[in-house]
Amino acid sequence: MELQAVLMAAGGGSRMMDLTYNTRKPLLPVGNKPLIWYPLNLLERVGFEEVIVITTKEVQKMISTDPKMKLDVKMKLDIVCIQEDADMGTADALRHIQQKIKTDILVVSCDLITDAALHEVVDLFRAHNATLSMLMSKAHEFTETVPGQKGKKKTGEQRDFVGVDGTGKRLLFMANEADLDKGLVIRKSIMRKLPRMHIKTGLVDAHLYCLKKSVVDFLADNKSVSSIRGELVPYLVRKQFSKSMTSPNVNDEADQKLKKKDGNANLEIQILSRDEVLLQLTRERSCWNDHRGDMSEAYHGVRLRCYVHIMDEGMCYRVNTLAAYIEANRLAPKLFDEPAVHPSAAISVRCLIGADSIIGASCQISDKASIKRSMIGASTTVREKVKVTNSIIMHGVTIEEGCNIQGSVICSNTVIGRGADIKYCLVGSAQRIEPEAERTNEVIVGTDQLMEI
Amino acid sequence: PHPSTGGGGIAPLTEQEEEEQPLQAVLVADSFNRRFFPISKDQPRALLPLGNVAMIDYTLEFLTSTGVQETFVFCCWMSNKIKDHLLKSKWCRPTSPNVVHIITSDLYRSLGDVLRDVDAKNLVRNDFILVYGDVVSNIDVSQALQEHRHRRKVDKNISVMTMVFKESSPGHKSRCEEDDVIVAMDSKSKRVLHYQKTQGLKKLQFPMNIFQHGSDEFEIRHDLLDCHISICSPQVAELFTDNFDYQTRNDFVRGILVNEEILGNQIHLYVTQDGYGARVSNLQMYDSVSSDMVRRWVYPLTPEANFTDQQGQGCTHSRHNVYRGAEVSLGHGSQMEENVLIGRDTSIGANCHISNSVIGNNCTIGDNVVLDRAHMWNNVHISSNVEIHQSVVCDGAVVKEAVHLNKQCVLAYNVVIGPNLSLPDGTVVSMHHPEEEEEDDDDEFLSDDQEVGHSKDKTRQKAFNPAEVGPEGKGYIWKASMNDTEDEELAQCLWGLVLNPDPESDSESEASEESQDRSRSVSPEIDDVNAFQLEVLGTLQRGLEENIVCDNLVLEINSLKYAYNITLKEVMQILTRVVLEYPFQQQGTQLTTLQYTGSLLPLLKTWSPVFKNYIKRAQDHLDCLSAVEELFLEQDTHQTAMVKVLMKMYQLEILEEEAILKWFSTGATNDKSRQLRKNQGKQRMSLQRKESEEDESSEEGE
- Is the pLDDT score of B506 beyond 50? no
Crossing angle of helices B568-587 and B550-564, in 10° steps, is 120
- B187 at A interface, C-beta within 8 A: yes
- Weakest-pLDDT range from A339-343, B116-120, B175-179, B542-546: B175-179
- Higher pLDDT, residue B433 or B674: B433
A237-277, pLDDT tens digit by residue? Answer: 888 887 543 333 334 444 444 444 443 334 454 544 445 77
Q: Could A188 and B507 be called an inter-chain contact, meaning their C-beta atoms sit closer than 8 Å?
A: no
Using a CB-CB cut-off of 8 Å, the residues of chain A touching B507 are 189, 242-244
B135-150, pLDDT tens digit by residue? Answer: 999 999 999 999 999 9
Q: Could B222 and A293 be called an inter-chain contact, meaning their C-beta atoms sit closer than 8 Å?
A: no
- B521 at A interface, C-beta within 8 A: no
- Higher pLDDT, residue A132 or B541: A132
- Is the pLDDT score of A444 beyond 60? yes
Residue-level pLDDT at B480: 60
Residues 412-441 of B with CB under 8 A from A: none
- B200 at A interface, C-beta within 8 A: no
- Higher pLDDT, residue A68 or B334: B334
Nearest CA in chain A to B518: A248
CB of B430 closer than 8 Å to CB of B478: yes
C-alpha span between A442 and A293 (Å, rounded): 60
Average confidence (pLDDT) over B398-424: 90
Nearest to B265 by CA among B276, B257, B274, B254: B257
C-alpha span between B188 and B268 (Å, rounded): 11
Work out whether strand B416-417 and strand B398-399 pair parallel, antiparallel, or are unpaired. Answer: parallel
Nearest CA in chain A to B210: A183
Q: Amino acid identity of A46?
A: V
* Residue B688's pLDDT band (cuts 50, 70, 90): low
Distances (CA, A) of B291 to A310, B40, B282, B425, B562: 43, 21, 14, 20, 52
Nearest CA in chain B to A198: B219
Q: Could B207 and A241 be called an inter-chain contact, meaning their C-beta atoms sit closer than 8 Å?
A: no
Residue-level pLDDT at A156: 53
C-alpha span between A160 and A154 (Å, rounded): 16
Average confidence (pLDDT) over A127-144: 86
A110 to chain B, closest Cα gap in Å: 28
- Higher pLDDT, residue A268 or A168: A168
- Is the pLDDT score of B304 beyond 80? yes
**CA dihedral (A437, A442, A443, A447) positive or negative:** negative
- A235 at B interface, C-beta within 8 A: no
Q: Of the candidates A183, A189, A202, which has its C-beta nearest B216's C-beta?
A: A202
Q: Which of B199, B506, B519 to mutate to test the interface with A (most CBs of A within 10 A)?
A: B506
CB of A389 closer than 8 Å to CB of A408: no
Secondary structure of B561-596 in HEC code, one letter for each residue: HHHHCCCHHHHHHHHHHHHHHHHHHHHCCCCCHHHH
Residue-level pLDDT at A208: 94
Collapse the DSSP code of A249 into the 3-class scheme (helix H, G, I; strand E, B; otherwise coil) and give the result: helix
Residue-level pLDDT at A5: 94
* Residue B459's pLDDT band (cuts 50, 70, 90): very low
- Weakest-pLDDT range from A95-99, B114-118, B400-404, B444-448: B444-448
Q: Of the candidates B198, B202, B220, which has its C-beta nearest A197's C-beta?
A: B220
User: What pTM was estimated for this model as a whole?
Assistant: 0.73
B591-624, pLDDT tens digit by residue? Answer: 777 888 888 888 888 888 888 888 877 788 888 8
Q: Of the candidates A184, A185, A243, which has its C-beta nearest B507's C-beta?
A: A243
- Is the pLDDT score of B17 beyond 80? no
* Residue B468's pLDDT band (cuts 50, 70, 90): confident
Residue-level pLDDT at A164: 93
Distances (CA, A) of B253 to A78, A217, B191, B257: 61, 51, 12, 6
CB of A308 closer than 8 Å to CB of A134: yes
Using a CB-CB cut-off of 8 Å, the residues of chain B touching A182 are 205
- A189 at B interface, C-beta within 8 A: yes
C-alpha span between B161 and B26 (Å, rounded): 14
Secondary structure of B74-135 in HEC code, one letter for each residue: EECCCHHHHHHHHHHCHHHCCCCCCEEEEEECCCCCCHHHHHHHHHHHCCCCCCEEEEECCE
* Residue B450's pLDDT band (cuts 50, 70, 90): very low
Nearest CA in chain A to B515: A248
- A266 at B interface, C-beta within 8 A: no
* Residue A151's pLDDT band (cuts 50, 70, 90): low
Residues 167-186 of A with CB under 8 A from B: 177, 180-186
Q: Could B171 and A238 be called an inter-chain contact, meaning their C-beta atoms sit closer than 8 Å?
A: no
Query: Chain-wide mean pLDDT for chain B?
Result: 80
- A202 at B interface, C-beta within 8 A: yes
Residue-level pLDDT at B295: 93
Q: Which of A136, A137, A138, A197 to mutate to test the interface with B (most CBs of B within 10 A)?
A: A197
Using a CB-CB cut-off of 8 Å, the residues of chain B touching A241 are 510
B215-271, pLDDT tens digit by residue? Answer: 888 999 999 999 999 999 998 999 999 988 899 999 999 988 888 777 788 999 999
Q: Could B501 and A192 be called an inter-chain contact, meaning their C-beta atoms sit closer than 8 Å?
A: yes
Q: Could B503 and A189 be called an inter-chain contact, meaning their C-beta atoms sit closer than 8 Å?
A: yes
Using a CB-CB cut-off of 8 Å, the residues of chain B touching A268 are none
B494 contact partners, CB below 8 Å, separation of at least 6 = B35, B36, B37, B39, B282, B283, B408, B410, B428
* Residue B441's pLDDT band (cuts 50, 70, 90): very low
C-alpha span between A215 and A326 (Å, rounded): 35
- A337 at B interface, C-beta within 8 A: no
Residue-level pLDDT at B436: 67
Percentage of chain A exceeding pLDDT 70 = 88
Q: Which of A244, A292, A297, A303 to mutate to test the interface with B (most CBs of B within 10 A)?
A: A244
B314 to chain A, closest Cα gap in Å: 35
What residues form DSSP beta bridges with B100?
B71
Average confidence (pLDDT) over B194-207: 86
- Higher pLDDT, residue B110 or B549: B110
Q: Which of B166, B225, B510 to mutate to test the interface with A (most CBs of A within 10 A)?
A: B510
Residues 32-91 of A with CB under 8 A from B: none
Residue-level pLDDT at B673: 60
Q: Of the candidates A186, A200, A246, which has its C-beta nearest B217's C-beta?
A: A200
- Higher pLDDT, residue B201 or A408: A408
Collapse the DSSP code of B607 into the 3-class scheme (helix H, G, I; strand E, B; otherwise coil) and give the result: helix
Residue-level pLDDT at A166: 86
* Residue B678's pLDDT band (cuts 50, 70, 90): low
Work out whether strand B353-355 and strand B370-372 pair parallel, antiparallel, or are unpaired. Answer: parallel
Residue-level pLDDT at B670: 57
- Higher pLDDT, residue B243 or A158: B243
Residue-level pLDDT at B56: 94
A385-425, pLDDT tens digit by residue? Answer: 999 999 999 988 999 999 999 999 999 889 999 989 999 88
Q: Could B220 and A186 be called an inter-chain contact, meaning their C-beta atoms sit closer than 8 Å?
A: yes
* Residue A202's pLDDT band (cuts 50, 70, 90): confident
**CA dihedral (B196, B201, B207, B211) positive or negative:** positive
A354-383, pLDDT tens digit by residue? Answer: 888 888 888 899 888 999 989 998 889 999
C-alpha span between B655 and B660 (Å, rounded): 7
- DSSP secondary structure code for residue B655 in this structure: S
- A201 at B interface, C-beta within 8 A: yes
CB of B627 closer than 8 Å to CB of B659: no
Q: Could A195 and B222 be called an inter-chain contact, meaning their C-beta atoms sit closer than 8 Å?
A: yes
C-alpha span between B489 and B467 (Å, rounded): 25
Percentage of chain B exceeding pLDDT 70 = 81
- Is the pLDDT score of B69 beyond 90? yes
Distances (CA, A) of A66 to A10, A11, A59, A63: 18, 20, 10, 6
C-alpha span between B279 and B350 (Å, rounded): 37
Helical (H) or strand (E) element with A90: helix A90-96
Average confidence (pLDDT) over B158-165: 91
Nearest CA in chain A to B201: A188
**CA dihedral (A62, A64, A70, A75) positive or negative:** positive
- B140 at A interface, C-beta within 8 A: no
- Is the pLDDT score of A453 beyond 60? no
Q: Amino acid identity of B354?
A: I
Q: What is the ipTM of this complex?
A: 0.83
Residue-level pLDDT at B383: 94
